[in-house]
Structures are given as C-alpha cells and as structure tokens.
C-alpha cells in the first residue's frame, strides 16, 4: 500500500531508498519531479533527502535549501511534519522548528552507496529524533512496516549526533587501520594476519580494516570526507581535526575520491 500522504524532496540515492522503503509515490527534485511544491504542501509528511555538502571553509551547506523549502511550504498553509533524513549538525532541527514554528523531526539514513537498495529494505535500526510526542508517534507509525527492526526514539539533537557519531566512528576505524598498515610496511609485520585476527575476535570489528579499498587509501565517497570536516569545525576537537588531516593525506596520495 502506498504512503500517499508523504512526499520526498531530493531524489538522489537517499531519496530513492526512502521512497522504496516506505512505498512513497511522490517526489520533488530540481532535476525531475512528479508533484509541484504547492501540491506537496498538502501532504502531511515532507521528507528531506537533499545533500548537505561541506564547503572549502569546512562549513556545512544545504541547510539553507531545507530552510527555504520549509518557508515556502508553510506559506501554502499546510499542517506538515518536516522530516530531515540528511546529515545535519546538532541543533539544526530545533533551530528550524523554532524559526518557522513547525514540527521538524530528524530521521537519519544509514545507507551504503553500493548497497542502498538492500539497506533500505532491511534496515538494521531506525532512529527517530523528535522533540514532541505527536511527531514521535506519527513517524514511528510511518515506519511500522519494519516492526522487527530495532527502533531508537530520542530527541532531535541526540539523533543528529547519532548520525555523526556513526559516520565518524567508521572513518576513525579506516584511519586506524591505515596507520597500522603503514607501520607493518616498515617493520615487516603481516597486516593481513592482524586484520584476520581482529575480524575473528568478538571484541574486534568486521568492517573498515582494508587499507587499500576501491583503488585507493582513506575514507572516500560522499559522506566521510565532508562529515569529518564539518564536525571537526563544529566540535573544535583535536581528534577529529587529526583524523581529517590524515584522511586527506591518504586520499590525495592515492588519488581516491
């Protein structure tokens, strides 16, 4: 059964994955849409899957686009719940909710670019960050078809931090593995044996320990580089500044994107 009372704004792989998971027929995108913004304003759930890149000054961009859409949709007079699936810095949802006097929920995605279709249909967990009870209930019901999946219900700031914590933990493991690999190249230790031991031990890990991955070194793709830069600036913590510097070094030396 289709979720006809939902519309997705931003129809990249996150938007397409969300549409597939929740069986949403409507999407609005600058490249191609099947609904107008005015028609979208009549839907209860407005789901943002728009990009939030990091600029050359390590500041997050894209929130102004979400802000503008909320303002336009509100002017049409609808009573909407705005759901942000994009990665946004902690405090973003609360700021937008207070600025426009609307309900804004954070419902982050946990998708791999390579396996997004499978990840969409078989989520390991569903995080719902909402600062009011009605929207918490509404978004939980929206995802009710995944009743066997673990739900984490929390506030918006915690949800926003969960997404960053998740991505940065993955990237930290990648950088750690690369550093150990580099030492092994100097002292002659067999890194593959070390990796297999960590894969096998229940205190170890099962991912992110391949120093050479997708033809290069470091954590590339659309998320890791931009997220560590934005969070390093936001948090002003030395750990993430160092991880960002090390990651940039590996990416540049191996020409990985």
Q: What pLDDT, in 10s, does the model give residues 27-42?
A: 999 999 999 999 999 9
Report pLDDT for 244.
Answer: 96
Asked whether residue 45 carries a pLDDT value surpassing 90, the answer given is yes
Report pLDDT for 101.
Answer: 97
The stretch 60-79 carries a mean pLDDT of 95
More confident residue, 214 or 144: 144
Q: Which residue carries 């890149």 as its tokens?
A: 53
Domain with CATH 1.10.1040 in the chain: 163-254
Closest of 226, 82, 242 to residue 163, by C-alpha: 226
Instruction: At 196, give phi and psi (nearest 5°).
Output: -65, -35
Asked whether residue 239 carries a pLDDT value surpassing 80, the answer given is yes
Q: Are 184 and 212 in contact (CB under 8 A)?
A: no
Asked whether residue 53 carries a pLDDT value surpassing 90, the answer given is yes
Distance CA 168, CA 244 (A): 10
The stretch 85-99 carries a mean pLDDT of 98
Fold of 6-154: Rossmann fold (3.40.50)
- Strand spans (E) along the chain: 6-9, 27-28, 45-48, 81-84, 103-106, 125-129, 150-154, 212-213, 216-217
The stretch 134-141 carries a mean pLDDT of 96
Report pLDDT for 84.
Answer: 98
The stretch 199-220 carries a mean pLDDT of 88
Q: How far is CA 51 from the centre of its chain?
A: 10
Domain with CATH 3.40.50.720 in the chain: 6-154
Q: Note the pTM of the prediction, 2 decimals.
A: 0.92
Distance CA 19, CA 26 (A): 8
Q: Are 44 and 6 in contact (CB under 8 A)?
A: yes
Asked whether residue 78 carries a pLDDT value surpassing 90, the answer given is no
Report pLDDT for 225.
Answer: 93
> Which are the contacts of 32, defined by CB distance < 8 A and separation ≥ 6?
11
Q: Are 24 and 7 in contact (CB under 8 A)?
A: yes
Beta bridge partners of 27: 8
Two tokens at 107? 């419902």
Fold of 163-254: 1.10.1040
- Reported as a single tens digit per residue, the pLDDT across 139-196 is 999 999 998 999 999 999 999 999 999 999 999 999 999 999 999 999 999 999 999 9
């Amino acid at each position: 059964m289709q979720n006809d009372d939902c519309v997705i704004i931003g129809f990249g792989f996150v938007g397409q994955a969300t549409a597939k998971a929740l069986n949403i027929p409507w999407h609005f995108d600058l490249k191609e849409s099947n609904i107008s913004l005015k028609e979208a304003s009549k839907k209860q759930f407005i789901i943002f899957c728009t990009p939030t890149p990091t600029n050359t000054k390590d500041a997050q961009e894209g929130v102004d686009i979400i802000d503008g859409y909320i303002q336009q949709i509100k002017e049409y007079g609808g009573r909407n719940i705005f759901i942000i699936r994009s990665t946004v810095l902690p405090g973003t949802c609360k700021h937008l909710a207070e600025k426009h006097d609307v309900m804004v929920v954070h419902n982050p995605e946990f998708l791999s670019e390579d396996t997004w279709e499978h990840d969409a249909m078989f989520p390991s967990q569903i995080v719902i960050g909402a600062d009011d009870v009605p929207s918490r209930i509404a978004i939980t019901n929206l995802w009710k078809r995944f009743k066997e999946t673990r739900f984490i219900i929390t506030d918006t700031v915690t949800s926003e931090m969960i997404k960053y914590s998740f991505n940065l933990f993955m990237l930290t493991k990648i950088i750690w593995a690369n550093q150990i690999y580099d030492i092994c190249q100097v002292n002659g230790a067999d890194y593959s044996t070390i990796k297999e031991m960590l894969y096998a031990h229940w205190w170890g890990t099962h991912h992110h320990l391949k120093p050479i991955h997708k033809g290069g070194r470091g954590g590339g793709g659309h998320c890791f580089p931009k997220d560590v830069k934005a969070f390093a600036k936001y948090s002003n913590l030395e750990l993430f500044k160092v991880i960002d510097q090390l990651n940039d070094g590996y990416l540049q030396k191996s020409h990985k994107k």
